[in-house]
Amino acid sequence: MTQHNPDSRDGDDGWFSPAQLARLERAADADALRAAVPTRNVSNGEYLPFAQSRTQREVEARVAAIADEAAGRLGLSRRRFLSGAGGMAASFLAMNEAFGHFFDASRDELVEPAAAAAKAPPADLFVFDDQLHMVRDSQGAAGMPLRAASQGAGAASRAAGFKANPFNPSGYPDELGNPWSAWTDALRQTPNVGTDFMLTALVKDVYLDSNVTVAVLSNAPLGLFLPSGATQPIPPRTIAESLSAEILTGYQTAAVRDFVNRIAGSTRMLAHGQLYPGERNLEFMQRQIEECRPDSWKGYTIAYSAKNNDDPKLGMERWSLDDEAIAYPTFELIRRNRTQLVDHPGFFNICIHKGLTTLGDPADPASDQPPMGNPDDIPKAAHDWPEFNFIIYHAAWAPLFYGQQSLRAVRAGRLLNGVPDVQWVTRMAQQCAHLPNVYAELGTTFAATVTTFPSVCAHMLGQLLKYWGPDRIVFGSDSLWYGAPQWQVEALWRFQIPESMAAKYGYPRLDANIRRKILGLNSARLYKLAARSPVSPGAPYKPVPRDFAGQVPAELRATLADAAGSQQGSQGTQGSQGTHASQHRPSPDRFAQLRSDYQAAGGVPDHLRHGWVVRS
């Protein structure tokens, strides 16, 4: 067993033996290039890093050559060039040359700002983001693991308490050969703090720092409940217990929607209602319709949210879409309220979380079942309820935020009916090809793969296009977990399926028309909204004022803080005696000041990696 090294520099918690340390060196010392995208496996000291692969060395050499040439033409140092927009273009170009043509990048972008602008999303692009998340004041810590996964290794993640990728603790390499690559350079090393997932950050990141036109604010009944005096959390037994543990209730979701649309003077945000299935939850569902006026619905079969008994001591259960005793009475209640379609045309849109299995291994029989997120319950439900649109969030991609298992399946040549078996996405695409009321949403699935597992991303998009066509795929960013959605919009606008892959498996080409459909037009049709852009004072979609923070009413602030006496609707969380299992309220003051100081300093990324690499 390895021993902790007490002499490690910078207080680093390395657990390597002297023999192991002799084969390693500091990443900061070894990486003279510091490309925007890492080119070798960096360990934080908790696992042995993988040696740099031949392909990684090839990418590194190509980045260096591209950067040296461009920096010389611009009269910059290589370091300065790589810290700017040209550095990312250099990495994309090098990755294209080494892995295949995944990104629409050109050498002109290296030296010509106009060329970079030409590759950017067009000014008239209508963007509909199908999945946003924020948290109420007491749940700020809930978003920090997801932010750490997307931000990558570095000072910000360490300061937030993350020493390794929270969803890749074993250190398996991604397609770039790293266990913890940043998904985007947009986050840099801005502090990872709870306030980044609250109301002010939501409005700023979505409506001021991205070109999203309309978005859906979601919610998630995923929390466990800790009864008073208990030491271990339990599945909630009642809706009140569940609401007390959630990051945002349905009432709070609707309140935020109403605030955003009021200050914008137009429909810029829609709100999900929460699916709590089962006969014993029907009264709550009806109250939710009357109080919250949801624009569509969000359900989690993996959540303990179904109740079909009167025993207050029995916990709620996971469920399946095609369960006629549990799900169908809830669907019938929604159908009976069809008059809501007049003011909320997406009321029959049933958005369902699938994939991202909580048990980690999609091949585990305990994971591979509908209540744990597999898609086998979709065909019957979609067939039995043709008036509903079933929008399957995360496109049912099975792995928990990290694509190593999917990459392994692709490289092993594991096929399902002639195409690589990308767990659960491939199965769903084939099972539901004939069902016109089933759609795939890309939240997290796209963000988690586009830059770190591009082959997996290309196969998933290719298969959905092959079996379903371009009209049944919708964009969702899952922001705020991964920062402002703009980087994902730009990545999807640039992403391409390599020609060799498309020819081999019969995947359609991603062209501008298809990208426009995925990024907004398909969802505009589902919610019966005019797909007009850009946002402007005289247009149907008006801008959110930049002084929005000063317009947040005290009543809304109290609601999001769960303040005593605040409005929470009749579904209020008061009365549940206990606390959220992971309740933690980080102090925003010091971190907010750190973030302000960082931004004021200009924030030039240094691309410095902290940890250990195998000696060359």
**Span 238-270, pLDDT tens digits:** 999 999 989 999 999 999 999 999 999 999 999
What percentage of the chain exceeds 90 in pLDDT? Answer: 54
d(C-alpha 152, C-alpha 138), whole Å: 25
Is pLDDT at 380 greater than 90 in this prediction?
yes
d(C-alpha 223, C-alpha 146), whole Å: 15
**How does pLDDT run across 189-224, given as a tens digit for each residue?**
788 777 888 999 999 999 999 999 999 999 998 888
User: Higher pLDDT residue, 176 or 124?
Assistant: 124
- Mean pLDDT, residues 353-373: 84
Is pLDDT at 599 greater than 50 in this prediction?
no
d(C-alpha 225, C-alpha 215), whole Å: 30
Domains and CATH numbers, the chain: 9-125+605-614 (no CATH), 198-526 (3.20.20.140)
d(C-alpha 524, C-alpha 519), whole Å: 10
**Nearest alpha-carbon partner for 490 in 148, 105, 35, 157:** 105
d(C-alpha 37, C-alpha 538), whole Å: 41
pLDDT for residue 57: 83
Name the pLDDT band for 323 (thresholds 50, 70, 90): very high
Structure token pair of residue 457: 């991303």
pLDDT for residue 355: 93
**How does pLDDT run across 600-616, given as a tens digit for each residue?**
444 454 555 445 667 76
In the block, tokens 């695409």 appear at: 429
Other C-beta atoms lying within 10 Å of the C-beta of residue 360:
16
Contact 603, 191 (CB under 8 A): no
Contact 541, 268 (CB under 8 A): yes
Name the pLDDT band for 373 (thresholds 50, 70, 90): very high
Contact 384, 322 (CB under 8 A): yes
Residue 42: phi and psi, rounded to 5, are -110, 125
Other C-beta atoms lying within 10 Å of the C-beta of residue 22:
10
**448-470 in b/e burial notation, b at 16+ Cβ within 10 A?**
bbbbbbbbbbbbbbbbbbbbbeb
**HEC secondary structure over 567-580:** CCCCCCCCCCCEEE
d(C-alpha 35, C-alpha 88), whole Å: 8
> Cα-atom radius of gyration of the chain, to the nearest Å?
24
Taking each helix axis from N to C end, the angle separating 404-411 and 454-468, rounded to the nearest 10 degrees, works out to 70
Is pLDDT at 460 greater than 90 in this prediction?
yes
pLDDT for residue 595: 39
Residue 388: phi and psi, rounded to 5, are -95, 150
d(C-alpha 387, C-alpha 381), whole Å: 11
pLDDT for residue 38: 62
pLDDT for residue 41: 56
Is pLDDT at 139 greater than 50 in this prediction?
yes
d(C-alpha 469, C-alpha 168), whole Å: 33
Please give the model's pTM, rounded to 2 decimal places: 0.83
Q: Which range has the worst mean pLDDT, 47-51, 300-304, 355-359, 384-388?
A: 47-51
Q: Which residues, at least 6 apart from 443, have a Cβ–Cβ distance to it below 8 Å?
A: 130, 131, 393, 394, 476, 477, 478
User: Higher pLDDT residue, 432 or 313?
Assistant: 432
Distance of CA 595 to the CA centre of its chain: 22
**Nearest alpha-carbon partner for 160 in 139, 143, 184, 144:** 144
Dihedral, 131, 135, 139, 144 alpha carbons, nearest 10: 60
pLDDT for residue 584: 33
Name the pLDDT band for 117 (thresholds 50, 70, 90): confident
User: Higher pLDDT residue, 142 or 544?
Assistant: 544
Say how many CA atoms lie within 13 Å of 131 toward its Cβ. 28
Mean pLDDT score across all residues of the chain: 85
d(C-alpha 298, C-alpha 444), whole Å: 16
pLDDT for residue 458: 97
pLDDT for residue 597: 45
**How does pLDDT run across 264-319, given as a tens digit for each residue?**
999 999 999 999 999 999 999 999 999 999 999 999 999 999 999 889 889 999 99
pLDDT for residue 588: 35
Is pLDDT at 571 greater than 70 in this prediction?
no
Structure token pair of residue 511: 């062209």
Structure token pair of residue 314: 């029995």
Name the pLDDT band for 235 (thresholds 50, 70, 90): very high
Name the pLDDT band for 164 (thresholds 50, 70, 90): confident
Name the pLDDT band for 151 (thresholds 50, 70, 90): confident
Is pLDDT at 42 greater than 60 in this prediction?
no
In the block, tokens 């299995």 appear at: 357
Say how many CA atoms lie within 13 Å of 168 toward its Cβ. 24
Q: Which range has the worst mean pLDDT, 138-147, 163-172, 232-241, 576-585?
A: 576-585
Q: Which range has the worst mean pLDDT, 1-15, 165-179, 430-444?
A: 1-15
- Which residue type, as a one-letter code, is found at position 546? R
CA angle 394, 397, 402 (to 5 degrees): 100
Q: Which range has the worst mean pLDDT, 376-385, 430-439, 560-569, 606-615?
A: 606-615
Is pLDDT at 567 greater than 80 in this prediction?
yes
User: Higher pLDDT residue, 234 or 607?
Assistant: 234
pLDDT for residue 263: 97
pLDDT for residue 596: 44
**Nearest alpha-carbon partner for 48 in 13, 4, 15:** 15
**How does pLDDT run across 395-412, given as a tens digit for each residue?**
999 977 788 889 999 999
d(C-alpha 369, C-alpha 376), whole Å: 7
d(C-alpha 172, C-alpha 130), whole Å: 31
